[in-house]
Amino acid sequence: MDRDLLDYAVELVEEAGGLAARWFTVASPRTTAAGASPVEVEVERLLRTRIAARYPDDAVLGKESEISAGTDGRRWVLDPINGTSLFAHRVPTFNVLLAVEDAEGPLVAVAGYPMSDELLYAGRGLGCWHALAGRPVRQVRVNDHTRLRGALVEMLNPLAWSEELLVTLHRELYLQPWTKGDVDLATGLADALVIAGAPMGYEDLAVLPLLIGEAGGRVTDLSGRDVLRGDGSVLATNGRLHDALLDLVAGLPHGRDFAALRREP
């Protein structure tokens, strides 16, 4: 693992986050014909330009543009604005995601929260680190909680969850809305994270295995498969609760047609 690569990835997310933050209070939620907002397009263009200048042989997979082919077996994965609807509605918990992969799998992962000037980042074999403005950078670890009942679990997209999944977890766990779930889990504030309903895209998921894994946790989809090859759902935990949570949700449908609520009967 090249520490310079991790440092540069962190610099990129800081720069991209600064651009996103400048747009935050003035940008319109309108989208382009392709469904992307101008902010997403501009932030991704910035990242691609910087990567191409420094690592011209690397491939780049972004959310708003086609993949740029590489020649050295390494690939950058970009989500310029993760939480587009949050950004559009002026909710300051959107983030900028960047991952780097090589032939062995996830190599670098960075999640930046521009509006709180906060970063969570990891390199393979280098641990997981948390940086918050005004505080020293620190290496972080998941907690060691082992009791399933009452475990604190952050949930994303619950409006799209099936009733069975929501009720089953609600009866056994302390559920709360996702705020900065990756940060909360990696720093020990939360015991687990669940994402279900509408499937997440690869760019949304690419940072999770390394961020949580280097903090000592575990990530799969809700069926226990590799999260990057699964069904777009996520179960991320401190590791100690993982198998018990998989058993709890085994066989349950994950999503529902929430859009049907707005259709005329």
Q: H/E/C letters for each residue in 195-230?
A: ECCCCCCHHHHCCHHHHHHHCCCEEECCCCCCHHHC
* Length reported for the chain: 265
Question: Which DSSP string corresponds to 74-120?
Answer: -EEEEEEEE-HHHHHTT-TT-EEEEEEEETTEEEEEEEEEGGGTEEE
- Burial (CB < 10 A; 0-12, 13-18, 19+), residue 246, is middle
Rounded Cα gap, residues 195 and 250, in angstroms = 15
Annotated binding residue at 57?
Answer: no
Annotated binding residue at 4?
Answer: no
Tokens for 198, please give them: 């509408």
Q: Count CA atoms within 13 Å of residue 259 on its CB side.
A: 2
Neighbours of 165 (CB within 10 A): 23
Strand partners, 177: 155
Annotated binding residue at 79?
Answer: yes
Residue with structure tokens 């690397």? 58
Binding residues: 79, 81, 204
Query: Which residues belong to the annotated binding site for Mg(2+)?
Result: 79, 81, 204
